[in-house]
Amino acid sequence: MPFFLSRLLARLLVLRSWATPIVVIVFVFVTSWPLMALAEPDGSALVRPENFWWYFVVTAATVGYGDYYPETGAGHVVGAYVIVGGIVTLTTVFTKMASILEQARGRRMQGAITVDASGHVVLIGYTAGRTERIVHELLADGTSTVVLCAWDDVATHPMPEEPVEFVRGELNDPETLRRAGVHRARTVLVDARDDNEALAIAVIVDHVVESAHIVVTLRDMAQTSLIHYVDAGIRCVQWHTPRMITEELTSPGIAEVYAELMTHGGANTYSVPLPESLGPVLVDHCRTALGRGHGATLLAARTDSELIVNPNWRTELPAGSTLYYVSERRLTTEQITAALRQPVS
How many other C-beta atoms are found inside a 10 Å radius of the C-beta of residue 198? 23
The whole-number pLDDT of residue 100 equals 67
Could you say which architecture CATH assigns to the domain 2-110? Orthogonal Bundle (1.10)
What's 268-341's CATH class?
A: alpha beta
The whole-number pLDDT of residue 60 equals 78
Q: According to the CATH classification, is domain 121-261 in 3.40.50.720?
A: yes
Q: What is the 3-state secondary structure (H, E, C) of the chain?
A: CHHHHHHHHHHHHHHCCCHHHHHHHHHHHHHHHHHHHHHCCCCCHHHCHHHHHHHHHHHHCCCCCCCCCCCCHHHHHHHHHHHHHHHHHHHHHHHHHHHHHHHHHHHHHHCECCCCCCCCEEEECCCCCHHHHHHHHHHHCCCCCEEEEECCCCCCCCCCCCCEEEEECCCCCHHHHHHCCHHHCCEEEECCCCHHHHHHHHHHHHHHCCCCEEEEEECCHHHHHHHHHHCCCCEEEECCCHHHHHHHHHCCCHHHHHHHHCCCCCCEEEEEECCHHHCCEEHHHHHHHHHHHHCCEEEEEECCCCEEECCCCCCEECCCCEEEEEECCCCCHHHHHHHHHCCCC
The whole-number pLDDT of residue 307 equals 95
The whole-number pLDDT of residue 199 equals 96
Rg (CA), the chain: 35
Rounded to whole angstroms, the Cα distance separating 26 from 7 reads 16
Kindly report the pTM of this predicted structure: 0.67
- Per domain, the residue ranges of the chain are 2-110, 121-261, 268-341
Closest-CA residue to 90 (of 35, 9, 1): 9
Residues of the chain whose pLDDT is less than 50? 14-15
Kindly report, residue by residue over 44-67, the tens digit of the pLDDT. 888 888 888 788 888 777 776 667
